[in-house]
Structure 1
Amino acid sequence: MLILSKHLRRLQITTNPKSISRLLPNPQPPIPTSPNPSLYSSKTKSKKPKKKKKKNQKPTPEQDHQFNQCISNLPPRPTPEDLSLALSLQPDPFVRLRLFHYASNLPRFRHDSSTYLPVVRSLASSPSTLHDLDSIVSLALSSSTTPSEDLFNAIIESYARLRKVSRLVNVYTHMRRCGKCRPSLVTYNLLFDALLGRGPNSTINYAYMENVRCLFRQMLDDGIEPDVSALNSMVAGYVGSMRVNDALRVFHQMGGVVYKCAPDAETYGHLIHGLCAEGRTENAREIFGEMGEKGFVLGERAYNSMVCAVAVNGEVDKAVRLVWEMKEHGVAVCETTHRTVVEEVRRTGGEVEVRRLLTEMREGGILDGLACRRLLCDGSGRVSSLNFNARVGHRRFG
C-alpha cells in the first residue's frame, strides 16, 4: 500500500497542468469549457458607420426673395398652367421645389404633368437631390392623373444622369403597365443610352447587353420602327461586349433589308473599331472603303484604331497616309497611334526613317517639338544620338 501511494503521488505530479506547462517550450492557453463563438470564428465584427442625418438646407436671403417674388406673381387661385410657367421661369432648383410644395398645400389645387416636369428636370443636377427626386417621382406615379409621355421620359433621363439604373427600369415597367401612356421610340433610346452610355467599359456592356437586347425585342413587338440611333446602340453594345459578328448582322440588316434606316458614320466607326480590336484588319479595311465611297468620315477612336491595326499589320506607308488623312479631316491623332507608327517605322527602316517621319510631321503641324523628342527616345528612355536638326533626304512617306 505504501508503494502504491507513492506511485499515485508521482502520477498526480506529472499530470498537473502547471508542471506540464513549464516543460513545454511554447505553452498553449487552456481550452475554455464554455463555448464562446467569438473565440472560434475568424470574422471580426465591424462597426457600421452611423448614418448622418440629412440636414435641411436653409434658404438664403436671395432664395427667400425669389420665392416671395414668385408667390406675388401668381394669381390668388393659380391653375397648373400658371404654376408650370412660374416654375419654368425659375432657374434655382431649391426655389422650384419650395414653390411646388407651396402649391401642394393650396386648397383645391392638383398637380399634373406640366407642374411635375420642370421640377423633375431641375432635380437631376446633382446626386444630393436624389432624395427629393424620389419623393417627387413617387407623388407623380401615385397621383390619380396619368403622367404624360414627356414626364415619363424626363424621369428616365433624370435617373440616367444620376446613374440609377434600377430606378429607371422600375419607371419603364410602370410605364408599360399604364394603359394610357406607352413607351415610344424616344423612351427606348433613353434606356439604351442609360444602359450602354458609360464610355468604353466592356464590363458594363457584358452586364447590360442582354437587357438591351430584350428591350430592343420589346420595341419591335410593340410595332415601333427603330431609327439609326437605336440601331447604333445595338451595334455599339455588341462591339463593346466582343460580339462583333452580331454587330455585323445588325449592320447588314440596315438600309432596307430589314430596317429602313441606313448606316451612318457612327455605325461604321463602331464596326471598324471592333474589327480592329479583334485583329480582323481585312474586314475593317473593306468597311472602311465602303464608308469612304459614301462620303463618311470616321471618328477619332475608330480612325486611331484603323491606323494602329494597319501599322501593326506591316503596312507602314498606308498607316502614315491615314495619319495625314486624319490631319486633313481635322481628326485628332492620339499618342498611342503616334507611338505605334513610329515603332513600326523604327522596326522596318531604322532611326533614320524615324527621323524623316518626325520631321515631316512636325513641319506638317501634326506634332510639336516636345512630342517629337519623346518619340525619338528608345525603350531605355535615352534620346537618340541622331541630331534632330540634321539634314535628311526629301522622300516623303506614303
Structure 2
Amino acid sequence: MRRLGAHQWCYFVSISKQPPRCTHGFSFFSFSSKIVPEQLLLIDAILESLRNSENWDTLSNKYSSIDFSDSLVKKILLRFKQPETAKRALSFFHWSANTRNLRHGTSSYAVAIHILVRARLLVDARALIESSLLNSDSDSDLLDSLLSTYDVSCSTPLVFDLLVQGYAKLRLLESGFDVFHRLCDRGFSLSVITLNTLLHFAAKSSRIDLVWRIYELATDKRIYPNETTIQIMISALCKEGKLKEVVALLDRIHGKRSSPPLIVNTSLVFRVLESNRIEEGMSLLKRLLQKNMVIDTIGYSLVVLARTKQGDLESARKVFDEMLQRGFDANAFVYTAFIKAYTEKGDIEEAERLIAEMENSGIDPYEETFDSVIVGCARCGREEESLKYCEMMVTRGLLPSCSAFNEMVKRLSKIENVRRANEILTKSVDKGFTPDEQTYTHLIQGFAKGKCIDIALKLFYEMEYRKISPGFEVFRSLIMGLWCCGKVEAAEKYLRIMKHRFILKPKRKTG
C-alpha cells in the first residue's frame, strides 16, 4: 500500500468534537459525524493494515507522519467494535500508545474498554480500566467517558461492574463507592459480585464505616446479598466488636439464636435508626420485610423503636398493640424503647409502671433498661430512686454503663448518697466495671464538698493507681477541700503537684 502524501495528512489533525446528543438518558459524541474524504481514506488504510496483521514496525513506517488525535483514535476503534474484531482494536490501541508515544485520553480508553468487554476479553478490559484509573486526573473522568460512549460502542452493563471492581482492587474505595452510588442512581443494576468485591476490599482496609454504607446503599437499591456477602458483613461485625451486642439484641426480641442474614440485616436497620435517620431506616426495613430478610417480630420491634425515637408515643403504642393482636409476644427490647422515651420526657412514673409491667409479665429488664431509668431519675432530681435502680441492677449481676453511672454521681447532692454511690462503684469494679476520669472526678468533688477529704484522697490515689490522669477539677476539689478542713500544707502540696504537671484550668467554650 502506497504512503499518502504529506499534504493529505493536514485534514486528519485537530478534529473537533461534535455537539452531544442524548439516547436512553446518556449523552455521547456522535462518532459517525461527517468525515472528510482524506480522513476516510486514512482510516480505511489503517484498517486494511490491521486486517492484514502488519507488524508494529510496518505500521509505524506507513503512518509515521500522522497526528493521532483522541477523536481519530476513537473513530478507528469504533470500526472494530464488533466482538470478532476486538483484538484488532486492542492491537491498534497499544500500537498507537507505545510506538507513537501517544497518551490516550479517557474517551479512547472508554471506547476500547467497551469493545473488549462486549467481546468478553475481560482480562484486557480490566487492565485498561486500572491503567486509566491510575492515570486519570479526576475520579469521575473514566465513568463520564464510559457513559458518554456507552450507546455508540454497543456496550453492555458489565463494563460498569468491572469499573467498580477496578476501583476496589486499587483501594480507591471512596471513589469506588461514589461511582457505585452514581451508577445505581442512573438505573444500572450492578451484580452481587461487584458488591462483594467492594465490601471485601473495604473490610480488608478496615473501613468498617464504609462497609455498612455500601451494604445500606445496596439494600436500598435492591442489590440483595448472597452467602459471601453475609460472611463479609459478619466479619465486619466481629472487627468492630458489635456481633455479641447484635446477637443479644435479637435474643431479647424473640429469644432465639438468629441466622447470620438476620443478624446482619437487623444490625443494618438498628444502626440507621440509632443515628436518628428514621425515614431511611423505615425504608430499609420495608424492603427487607418484603423480601423476608427480616422476620415480623423484629420488624414490629424496630418500628416501635423508630416511633419512640420520633417522640410519637401514641403511634408507637398502636404498633405495639397491633403486634400483640397478631399473636407476637411483648419483649424486653420494646419495653426498653418505651421506658427510654418516657424517662427522656421526664415521666418517671410511667417508666416505673412499665418496669413493673415487664417484670409481672416475666420479662427481665436488661442493662439499657436500667441505664435509662437511672439517668432519667437523676436528671429529675430523684437521686434516691436513681441509686435504688443502680443498686438493683448490680445485685442482679448487671453493670451500669459508665455514662449512666457518671450522670447519676454528677447530680448527687447529699453526702450520704455519694457514699452509697461509692459503695456501688466498689461492688461494680469487682464485677468488671471500668470507671473513667469523670467517674472519679464526680465522686472526689462530692466527697470534698461533703468535707470527707480522706475518702476523696483515697479515690485520688486509686485513680493514679489505675493510670487515669487527674484533671484540673480533681485538683481544685482536693485543694479547696483540704483548705476548708484547715490542712493548708497538704493543700499547697497538691497545688505544687498540679503546677509541676502543667495542669491548667480549661478554657471555656464560647459560642
Kindly report which structure 2 residues correspond to 1:228-377, keeping only aligned pairs within 5 A, or say none. Answer: 228-250=367-389, 261-262=396-397, 264=399, 270=405, 274=408, 277-289=411-423, 291-292=425-426, 295=430, 298-331=435-468, 333-349=470-486, 353-361=490-498, 368-371=501-504, 374=505
* Partner in structure 1 of residue 219 of structure 2: 96
- Among 62, 68, 72, the residue aligned to 2:180: 62
Quick check: 1:217 aligned with 2:364?
A: no
Q: Distance in 1 between matches of 2:376 and 2:423?
A: 23
Q: Distance in 1 between matches of 2:325 and 2:294?
A: 8
Could you report, residue by residue, the CA deviation over 1:103-145 in whole angstroms, capped at 9, with x for unpaired residues? xxxxxxxxxx969857745754866x64444456678899999
Q: Distance in 1 between matches of 2:266 and 2:327?
A: 18
Corresponding pairs, count:
271
Answer whether contact 2:377 2:383 (CA < 8 A) is retained.
yes
Q: 1:255 and 1:134, CA in 2 relative to 1: closer, same or farther beyond 3 A?
A: closer
Quick check: 1:165 aligned with 2:298?
A: no
1:304 Cα deviation from its structure 2 partner: 2.1
- Among 280, 296, 306, the residue aligned to 1:148: 296
Answer whether contact 1:193 1:233 (CA < 8 A) is retained.
yes
Answer whether contact 2:390 2:400 (CA < 8 A) is retained.
no
Answer whether contact 1:268 1:291 (CA < 8 A) is retained.
no
SS in 2 for 1:63: helix
Answer whether contact 2:387 2:420 (CA < 8 A) is retained.
no
Answer whether contact 2:463 2:470 (CA < 8 A) is retained.
yes
Answer with 282-291 or 303-312: which moved more.
282-291
SS in 1 for 2:494: helix
Q: Distance in 2 between matches of 1:229 and 1:135?
A: 26
- Normalized per residue, which structure has more helix? 2
SS in 1 for 2:451: coil
Point out where structure 1 has 5 or more consecutive residues left out of the alignment: 1-58, 75-87, 102-112, 197-203, 376-398
Q: 1:137 and 1:309, CA in 2 relative to 1: closer, same or farther beyond 3 A?
A: same
1:73 Cα deviation from its structure 2 partner: 8.4
* Partner in structure 1 of residue 11 of structure 2: none
Q: TM-score, normalised by structure 2?
A: 0.41
- Residue identity opposite 2:453 in structure 1: V
1:308 Cα deviation from its structure 2 partner: 0.9
Q: 1:100 and 1:343, CA in 2 relative to 1: closer, same or farther beyond 3 A?
A: same
Answer whether contact 1:312 1:344 (CA < 8 A) is retained.
yes
Q: Distance in 1 between matches of 2:452 and 2:212?
A: 59
Name the % identity: 13
Point out where structure 2 has 5 or more consecutive residues left out of the alignment: 1-176, 196-210, 225-260, 507-511
Q: 1:159 and 1:287, CA in 2 relative to 1: closer, same or farther beyond 3 A?
A: same
- Residue identity opposite 2:353 in structure 1: C
Could you report, residue by residue, the CA deviation over 1:171-218 in whole angstroms, capped at 9, with x for unpaired residues? 75255434232231233334445555xxxxxxx352x43342233233
- Residue identity opposite 1:210 in structure 2: E
Answer whether contact 1:346 1:354 (CA < 8 A) is retained.
yes
Two-structure CA RMSD over aligned residues (Å) = 4.8
SS in 1 for 2:214: coil
Could you report, residue by residue, the CA deviation over 1:280-323 in whole angstroms, capped at 9, with x for unpaired residues? 21343255246536725645444322211211222334322321
SS in 2 for 1:338: helix
Q: TM-score, normalised by structure 1?
A: 0.51
Q: 1:299 and 1:177, CA in 2 relative to 1: closer, same or farther beyond 3 A?
A: same
Q: Distance in 2 between matches of 1:314 and 1:176?
A: 54
* Partner in structure 1 of residue 334 of structure 2: 187
